[in-house]
Amino acid sequence: MNYTKDILEGKDLRDLFLEEDMSKMGLEDFALDLDDFMKKEKKKGKVKETTDPEEFLRRRREKETYKKGEGGYIHPSILIKDKDTGEQLSHDELMDKLTVRPKDILGQNSKMKHSGGEQVIFYNLNLPALEGLLVDEKERKLKTVTTCPYAGACKKLCYAMGGNYIRYDSGSLKPTRVLNYLMNDPDGFKAQLTSEIQRVSKNAAKKDMKVAIRWHDSGDFFKMKYLELAYDVAKATPDVRHYTYTKGITQARKSNAPENFQFAFSYGGKEDTKIDPKKEMFSDIVPKDLHTAISKEGTFSNWSSEDLSSLKDQVSKKFGINKDTILTYSEMMKKPEGNERKWNVLVGGGDGDDAATRKDVLGIYLLEH
């Protein structure tokens, strides 16, 4: 299938993916916010380097500026041309910066590095969370694309709008470049990603190891065409396990996933009621106040057996599941993988992502942190 012709030539981009034209709105509003931020920094006697702009970005979140048409999520430093003066990039300079093709689409965050034990090597690819800036290279315009169209309550808990994703510019620059690559050259994107996966899989095989690919540490399959592209990549790499957490339940069910592609349906979206937690793998959030009331330790390795048992009692009660089916991540890793979905796995800080690739896991319970 020629995605490039389909998306960039055959149909209007806006009809397929895009939400708003950013050339006349959004970017300027963001720049005004950034000007205000930089002025305050100058009054303090300094202009920070990539700045640690958490206070600035937190204000944007509190004002709910991630609504349609109010600009994509982008780290302030990406707009800066001169860090000493705070001079910003022009539209053309910004578009040039965003359309640089990433050397590597795949990456490995800390969770991926903690996954797989000595048998599987995990990699991930990311898109901007919720909404991203996009350059329509054909029209030479800045636009936005909604990357999490099914997001609901999860917006308030989205970890990809905190931590290193806003502390460092690379946390939003690379996903933004990946998005631009995908949207403007889907065929090239697919070819490069397939090649990368084949390369890492070949290297892993030399160590008697397998590879798992997580689609979207942030972002989601925002259109069926993109999901179909992912299936093409999975079919071209049949020895690799592909998986994703998604809130697009209806879209996933309408599609024809290959054997090596697995979904974990995530609660916190617009289609929660369509999830069947008795049959389909799903993920949910264990509220912070529930587990911190038992122990302040973020990693289960520091929990006592009594505290772990108490946590399982509380999770069993809150979510209505049998305590005997609840395992911690480390307990799950000691069990051989079965074919019946029955285990409910608690995943805490420092734990890996293996549960989402297994055929015997039903529920994944992520401790809010």
31 in a structural domain: yes
313 in a structural domain: yes
Q: Give the closest residue to 244 by CA, choosing from 95, 105, 306, 234.
A: 234
Instruction: Please indicate, yes or no, whether residues 295 and 153 belong to a single structural domain of this protein.
Output: no
218 in a structural domain: no
pLDDT at 211: 96
The pTM score is 0.77
Convert the pLDDT of each residue in 62-71 to its tens digit.
Answer: 433 333 333 3
Q: The domain containing residue 101 runs over which residues?
A: 3-114+126-185
Instruction: Please indicate, yes or no, whether residues 167 and 313 belong to a single structural domain of this protein.
Output: no
Q: Which two tokens stand for residue 354?
A: 């293996």
Low-confidence ranges of the chain (pLDDT < 50): 1-35, 37-38, 41-42, 44-73, 153-155, 158-170
pLDDT at 310: 95
Helices (H) and strands (E) in the chain, counts: 14, 13
Total domains present in the chain: 2
86 in a structural domain: yes
* Beta partners for residue 132, in sequence order: 145
Q: Which two tokens stand for residue 287?
A: 């509220």
pLDDT at 315: 95
Instruction: Please indicate, yes or no, whether residues 17 and 134 belong to a single structural domain of this protein.
Output: yes
For the chain, give the mean pLDDT.
77
270 in a structural domain: no
Instruction: Please indicate, yes or no, whether residues 23 and 169 belong to a single structural domain of this protein.
Output: yes
The region that residue 244 occupies, defined by phi over 0 for left and psi between -120 and 50 for alpha, beta otherwise, is beta
Convert the pLDDT of each residue in 312-362 to its tens digit.
Answer: 999 999 999 999 999 999 999 999 999 999 999 999 888 899 999 999 999
228 in a structural domain: no
252 in a structural domain: no
245 in a structural domain: no
Half-sphere exposure of 140 (CA within 13 A, CB side): 4
Spell out the residues 6+ positions from residue 23 whose beta carbon is closer than 8 angstroms to its own.
91, 141, 142, 143
CA distances from 199 to 31, 104, 127 (A): 41, 12, 22
